[in-house]
Structure 1
Amino acid sequence: MDTEDFAADAALFARLRATWDDVDPMPADMIDRMVAAVAVADLSREYALLTLVEGAITGAVRTTPAETATLQFSRGDTSVLLHVSVTESGKRRIDGWVDAETLAIRLVQGDRDWAAEPADHGRFAFEEVPPGMTRLRMAVRGTDGEMKEFETPQFEA
């Protein structure tokens, strides 16, 4: 591409940009709103992770970490409490409680996953889960009535 073609293209793009700025200008607060939206999305993830770390530290002080762990994850209007314990076979039992209406609950480890049905008061359980990095995924109904996905950070089961 020679210099004349480049200059002609640049002039054309400048005219197009000016036309769109006149026809559909960017809202004055658009950049601030986008920064805030991204920050809020990251805060939910960071809060869940901080709760996990806090629960791990507290659990280590009060119990033997190899035997039990209690974890809490929260995002928006949904909270999940998990109690992980070692079974006689060396596998894990994961008891959980969710405070939102739940359509589906899945426990995921790599390529494997298990399903559970929520019982009264949002209680659910997974039995004989192999130890390893684990994640909980749920479809929940928020207080606004909308269905959304709730996913925890990975934790050691």
Structure 2
Amino acid sequence: MSSDDTHVGLHPDDLDLLERLGRIAAVVDPVPDEVLELGRAAFELHRADALLMSLVADAGAAVRDNGAATASHLVVFELGETSVEVEVARRGEFVRVIGVVMAADQPYAGECRVSLETSASTTTQTLDDGRFAFERVPVGLARLVLDREGDQPMRTPWFDAR
């Protein structure tokens, strides 16, 4: 557990206690694997009407930035003439997800919303000349959903945002 915006108003001692209790509960009474599987399966049905893009590239590298280790990887998805190129850069407990939506080798110029989904939240923004950026994304699995006016939504498979 971290002291982010969801814990506004809690005393630091309370946050520390909750974090320690969470670690104890994870060891003493962990969530059963079948419950996690069922949860993932149920969440997969969210936006089941969307067309599924294909993963075509996933390349990673570890780099040092001002002495701090960061990890970055590039992920590319395609469906027809539409592609999404995503860079995932980790810094501490969070990642930054930036990317561009391309249509026939040009940045997508039409009205389009892109949503970043995690198991805990969904954040949506409008593309800016085909580009998007999501900051302070929790480390874990994520996927993108492109929603263009008049078209069936497109979504990526879950990818590792680490």
> What are the within-5 Å matches in structure 2 for residues 108-127 of structure 1?
108-120=117-129, 122-127=130-135
* Structure (1 or 2) with the larger CA radius of gyration: 1
2:142 is equivalent to residue 134 of structure 1: yes
Cα offset, 1:102, TM superposition: 4.2
Aligned residue pairs, count: 99
Give unmatched runs, 5+ long, in structure 1.
Answer: 1-43
Q: 1 or 2, which has the higher helix percentage?
A: 1
Give unmatched runs, 5+ long, in structure 2.
Answer: 1-50, 64-69, 103-107
> What are the within-5 Å matches in structure 2 for residues 1-157 of structure 1?
45=52, 48-49=54-55, 51=56, 55-56=57-58, 59-60=59-60, 63-64=61-62, 67-87=71-91, 89-99=92-102, 100=108, 101-120=110-129, 122-140=130-148, 146-157=150-161
Q: 1 or 2, which has the higher strand percentage?
A: 2
User: Structure 2 length normalisation: TM-score?
Assistant: 0.54
Q: For the Cα contact (< 8 Å) 1:70–1:82, is it kept in 2?
A: yes
RMSD (Å) for aligned C-alpha atoms: 2.2
| Greater length-normalized contact order (CA 8 Å, ≥ 6 residues apart) | 2
% identical equivalent positions: 27
User: Structure 1 length normalisation: TM-score?
Assistant: 0.56
